[in-house]
Amino acid sequence: MIIKAILVAFFSFFIFLSHILWMHFFSPRRKFFFMLQYFCVVLVIYSGLFLFQFKSIKEEVDNAPSIFWFFLFLSSGFLVILFFYHCYLYLEQIIDRSPATRIMIELEKSPSKRLTLEELITRYSIERKIELELMDLVSLGFLRKDKDKFFITRRGLGYMRITRAFRDFFHLERN
């Protein structure tokens, strides 16, 4: 039963990935809300699929050798641990490095809890962020610095091509 639920969940996730086609051809303006709505629709589909009786899955599960399942279940725990760590790291990066978070904190810290754009620029310098990002990219080997100029390395080029392909496919703006 539980294995069936997991398999149906996996299948539902692949159905969710069909939103990629929508985002590519129709490019909705509010992408996150679109994905949220899509997630909810597929959750309903998951519910429907869950109630459906899959006899062939039950036979496959019953006939598989037990050592296979033992190894699979042990590995599923690894994935759970990886998932928790991924979420923790992502949350920390968002809170630490996101300009949006810093901007909101500066707004809250200001005496009247509101700022104009000019006041915000004096309190939080995105220029400094660019400088730190460039230092990071040099440390990671994506860029090299020759005198005062930055050049992209092969490693940086490979990474850039992947992210650019992703952004072009989803019609995402440069950030």
Partner 1 sequence: MKDLLLLKALILASICAVFSLIFQILFHYLRGLFCDYSNLQPVLKLKVKLKSLVGIGSICLICYIYLFFLSLPSLDEFIRIHLIKSLWVTFILGAIFYTALVIFYITIYYFIDRSVSATLLEIIASSHGLTEKEVKEIYGIGRKYIRELKGMQEGGFIVKKGEFYSNSLKGKFYVRLAKGFKNLLRLGPGG
Residues within window 110-149 making contact with partner 1, judged by CB under 8 A: 113-117, 120-121, 124, 126-127, 129-137, 139-140, 142-143, 146, 148-149
CB of 152 to partner 1, least distance (A): 5
Identify whether the C-beta of residue 167 lies closer than 8 Å to the C-beta of residue 174.
Answer: yes
The token pair that represents 16 in the structure block: 């969710």
Provide the mask over 22-51, with x wherever binding to partner 1 is found by CB under 8 A and - wherever it is not: --------xxx--x---x--xx--xx--x-
Element (H, E) at 150: strand 149-152
CB of 106 to partner 1, least distance (A): 9
> By C-beta, is 23 or 25 nearer to partner 1?
23
CB of 22 to partner 1, least distance (A): 14
Interactions with partner 1, residue window 75-104 (CB under 8 A): 76-81, 83-93, 95-104
Spatial separation of the C-alpha atoms in residues 172 and 157, rounded to whole Å: 19
CB of 43 to partner 1, least distance (A): 7
168 near partner 1, rule: CB under 8 A: no
54 near partner 1, rule: CB under 8 A: no
Burial of 99 (0-12, 13-18, 19+ CB in 10 A): exposed
Identify whether the C-beta of residue 105 lies closer than 8 Å to the C-beta of residue 111.
Answer: no
58 near partner 1, rule: CB under 8 A: no
21 near partner 1, rule: CB under 8 A: no
> By C-beta, is 25 or 118 nearer to partner 1?
118
The token pair that represents 24 in the structure block: 């590519």
Which H, E and C letters describe 26-68, residue by residue? CCCCCHHHHHHHHHHHHHHHHHHHHHCCCHHHHHHHHHCCHHH
The token pair that represents 46 in the structure block: 């998951």
CB of 17 to partner 1, least distance (A): 7
Spatial separation of the C-alpha atoms in residues 106 and 57, rounded to whole Å: 55
